[in-house]
Amino acid sequence: MIERSANRLDCSTADQLRIRICLEGATEPVPLHETRLSAEFQVSRTPIRQILQMLRREDMVEIRPGIGTVSTTLDPERRAYQGAVLETLVTAEAQLCAGQSMPLMLQANFASVRSLVEMRPLSTLDDVMQVMARMIATLEQSVADLLLRNATRAALWRQIRWLIRDAQCGGVSDAAVMDTIGADIRMIAEAGLKGPKSYPFIVLAQTGSFGTGDQTDDQKQPA
């Protein structure tokens, strides 16, 4: 059973559903009924339907006849390909924003994420996922092109699903997963404070949890 944080961050409803899918959908599809979600989040069914449509475009949910909307199932045979997709997207963004300075507003957002990791007690996987949602939202703001932004967000959340699945199905302790992901969040956030917009994406490709392959010498972050 997934332990929920009693003091959740103010993440969007869409992110809360992404987190639920990551934590509860490792081995079995998670049912997502519009009516129940509408009551849970105290909104009408229209925004819930719009969110589910967005998650469907991100390949996080699907509609099954006679059942309704459920989370998609990860296919181990496609994992390497999906990792290559994330690598391609991250590398493309690092190249596209090479030489650009990080806006002060985004630096402040990265600083906020780092503070959450350092000051907020991350005692459950749910805690870590709340901060991860903030990190992904901040990375999104760094991507200028809307198509690339949406694709990168979807690929990152899919990678997180794989990480949680590895932990839940591979016998890795929650504490070990939290330590690893927390350290990676901190490294990416610190990269966002160093100026160039490309740094977070370069570090993203190098971190232990999200590593997507070795970088060339001209892509590596200076010490």
pLDDT tens for the 223 residues of the chain, in order: 444 443 444 468 999 999 999 999 888 899 999 999 999 999 999 999 999 999 999 999 999 998 899 999 999 999 999 988 998 999 999 999 999 999 999 999 999 999 988 876 778 888 889 999 999 999 999 999 999 999 999 999 999 999 888 888 877 777 888 888 888 899 999 999 987 999 999 998 887 566 544 433 333 443 3
**Contact present, 147 and 57 (Cβ < 8 Å):** no
**Contact present, 9 and 113 (Cβ < 8 Å):** no
Q: For the beta carbon of residue 156, count every other beta carbon within 10 angstroms.
A: 21
The fold of 13-71 is Arc Repressor Mutant, subunit A (1.10.10)
pLDDT of residue 165: 87
The model's pTM:
0.86
Find, among 23, 132, 154, 31, the residue nearest to 85 by Cα: 154
Q: How far is CA 4 from the centre of its chain?
A: 18
pLDDT of residue 93: 94
Domain range summary for the chain, segments of one domain joined by +: 13-71, 76-206
**Contact present, 153 and 136 (Cβ < 8 Å):** yes
**Contact present, 140 and 18 (Cβ < 8 Å):** no
Radius of gyration of the chain (CA): 17
Distance CA 28, CA 6 (A): 25
Give 38-43's long-range contacts (Cβ < 8 A, gap of 24+): 41/13, 41/16, 43/13
